[in-house]
Structure 1
Amino acid sequence: MLKVIRILAAVISLAVLPAIAVAQDIDGVVEHPMIERYPGQVIAWQHIENYQPYKVAVGPVTGYRQIGDWIETEGRVTRTFYKYEGEDRSYSEVYKNYLDALNAEGFEILGEGMSADRKGAAVGSRQWMEVTFKENPATKPGAVGTMFSGTSSSGGAGAIVASKQRASGKAYVVIYVEQHARNYVGTLIDIVEVEAAETGLVVVDAEAMGADIEEYGRVVLNGIVFDFDKATLKPESKAALDAIADYLATHPDKAFYVVGHTDSKGAYAYNSKLSDDRARAVADALKQDYDIAPDRLEPHGVGPLSPVFSNASDAGRDQNRRVELVER
């Protein structure tokens, strides 16, 4: 575990201790174990995507709203926004604390820097942050909006881009810090775990399922695999089915549509039937192998009618071929 240097907690004055004691994280968030927060911060927003593209900026701004050097990756993305409220700490102190901690834990620093104005083009400048936020927008509303809109404020800002090769795969960490107001320092920590994407089999998990269903009312069942052009579930789907059944067992009051999707290649009638058959195969497996009550899962197929990406590329078509749970 990457631990933020605790000695800083000892120098927080007694005058601010009551404020820190009463501040609490928002409900339903779980701090990622890779990075421990700066003392006195509270989690004000969090969004977890089980599988999502993410662009890691490792170079400066090279033109109008452009960065020339990116690492394009994908995987499980955990985005956590922290607030520190109090006039005893500045963004530069929070920034240095995280930088020291990353170095101490053996992370490779791919880029870092601070800026007190919007004019700089280097990593960590406000201009740089504006471009990175445009490429990696916050799709869930909440307190993080102060970070994304705060790039026009007069306080300083900084960012650290780092990576580490772990036994479970590579992880990227991007830490954004900004002085939003005299007594308000915001910190956004994005953690991208790419192991699942690199293995070629991303598997949904119960935690990410719950987050997506709560926010969007639906979740893509990553890890469900069929024989080519058939509705026969392959053995490697078991891990995903286990996770889905686990979620359904712990939320017995919820019922869902199981919705099959295809890409747009081929005739509509054929794709419509294939998507329906695949949705039914998933629902049947959950009912028969995991004792999920039949009335909780209603299968339907919509063929190519609801793509999530363009069907013009292989990558887009691959993402469009999916099965989702949609809350009823």
Structure 2
Amino acid sequence: MAILPAGRIDDGEAPGDLLEVEGKITRIGYRIAGERSALEVMRNYESALAQAGFETVFACESHETCGVDMMAFIANSGTVRPQGFGDAFFGGTAERALLASQESIDGVFHVFLHVVEDTSNNRTLLYQQVVEGVALRTDQVDVLQAGELQRSLERQGHVAVQGVYFDTGKSQLKQESGPALDQIAELLRANSHLQVYVVGHTDNVGDLAANTVLSEARAAAVVARLEAYYGIERTRLIARGVASLAPVASNADESGRSRNRRVEIVAQ
């Protein structure tokens, strides 16, 4: 279990917005010598994460925006990083933090970065924590699956639901989609006031107009199943299709195309 700041911290005793995530944890501390500012270091990481498909969950750019107790909480709480891990970050003249996430068929990945300039020693200190979440199994029904959907909706406003399957060029749901639909239904039952768009996505193979029709038909199939089999009110569900207009990976190879063929839940 990793605990990562997802908002400013003004009181280390009551830090408020923290994100708890599970998975393989890798912690690395860097001492970057020379005239490398916290801004320069963070911009390089932001660029690399964006190119890899990560989305920003939280970012701050100074003591004021990070919170007066962010630095102390990271260094001393024993939750964000083990006590005694690397350099203490006190005395920095500039501070930046970033929490980013990426969802894929392999699982949910989180990266947390904290950068501080140590001008007295002419260096910049970077703490990096990567949490590699394990992909959810699609052969079991689990409340945690619905819980992860809810957390992603709260964090990002949308979430890709893995495990919704169709034959190529078809809009009929395959039988293997049952566990994923169970997750969506569990989410909606647990949040009776939640209204969502069900959005179909395709890869870029074929005609855009045809893919737009196909993606909306697939979304409509999910909506119809949620209503007919799970009793979810149709008024809470709107089906939309965007074809290949919102990819999460490159369509240059099958690995990327398979990630782009998906169904997402978007909070209205």
TM-score range, shorter chain: 0.5 to 0.7
TM-score (norm 2): 0.59
Q: Percent identity?
A: 30
Separation of aligned partners in 1, 2:160 and 2:108: 23
- Which residue of the partner structure matches residue 73 of structure 1? none
Superimposed CA distance per residue, residues 227-246 of structure 1 (whole angstroms, 9 cap, x where no aligned partner): 23212222322221121111
1:23 aligns with 2:13: yes
Distance 1:178 1:215, change over 3 A: closer
Distance 1:277 1:180, change over 3 A: same
- Which residue of the partner structure matches residue 234 of structure 2? 294
Separation of aligned partners in 2, 1:276 and 1:170: 26
- Which residue of the partner structure matches residue 196 of structure 1? 135
- Which residue of the partner structure matches residue 162 of structure 1? none
Distance 1:242 1:129, change over 3 A: same
- Which residue of the partner structure matches residue 76 of structure 1? none
Query: Contact 1:231–1:278 at 8 Å: present in 2 too?
Result: yes
3-state SS in 1 of match to 2:215: helix
Shift of 1:215: 3.7
Distance 1:268 1:254, change over 3 A: same
Highest Rg: 1 or 2?
A: 1
- Which residue of the partner structure matches residue 165 of structure 2? 225
- Which residue of the partner structure matches residue 322 of structure 1? 262
Shift of 1:132: 4.8
3-state SS in 2 of match to 1:140: strand
Query: Contact 2:208–2:244 at 8 Å: present in 1 too?
Result: yes
3-state SS in 2 of match to 1:324: strand
Structure 1: tracts of 5 or more residues without a match: 3-19, 36-101, 121-125, 156-168
Separation of aligned partners in 1, 2:14 and 2:229: 42
Distance 1:118 1:289, change over 3 A: farther
Shift of 1:292: 0.7
3-state SS in 2 of match to 1:191: strand
Give, as a single letter, the amino acid of the residue that structure 2 aligns with 1:259: V
Q: 1:266 aligns with which of 202, 206, 218?
A: 206
Shift of 1:314: 2.1
Give, as a single letter, the amino acid of the residue that structure 2 aligns with 1:262: T
Give, as a single letter, the amino acid of the residue that structure 2 aligns with 1:135: A
- Which residue of the partner structure matches residue 47 of structure 1? none
Query: Contact 1:205–1:243 at 8 Å: present in 2 too?
Result: yes
Query: Contact 2:201–2:215 at 8 Å: present in 1 too?
Result: yes
Indicate the larger mover: 238-247 or 261-270: 261-270
Shift of 1:322: 1.5
TM-score (norm 1): 0.50
Shift of 1:180: 5.5
Query: Contact 1:146–1:180 at 8 Å: present in 2 too?
Result: no
Give, as a single letter, the amino acid of the residue that structure 2 aligns with 1:23: E
Q: 1:142 aligns with which of 52, 55, 58?
A: 58
Distance 1:141 1:288, change over 3 A: closer
Shift of 1:289: 1.7
Superimposed CA distance per residue, residues 3-31 of structure 1 (whole angstroms, 9 cap, x where no aligned partner): xxxxxxxxxxxxxxxxx98621324x443
Separation of aligned partners in 2, 1:304 and 1:170: 22
Indicate the larger mover: 128-137 or 214-223: 128-137
Indicate the larger mover: 294-303 or 173-182: 173-182
CA RMSD of aligned residues (A): 4.7
Separation of aligned partners in 2, 1:144 and 1:186: 15
1:235 aligns with 2:172: no
Separation of aligned partners in 2, 1:145 and 1:212: 24
Query: Contact 1:117–1:154 at 8 Å: present in 2 too?
Result: no
- Which residue of the partner structure matches residue 306 of structure 1? 246
Shift of 1:220: 1.6
- Give the number of aligned pairs: 216
Shift of 1:313: 2.6
Query: Contact 2:138–2:180 at 8 Å: present in 1 too?
Result: no
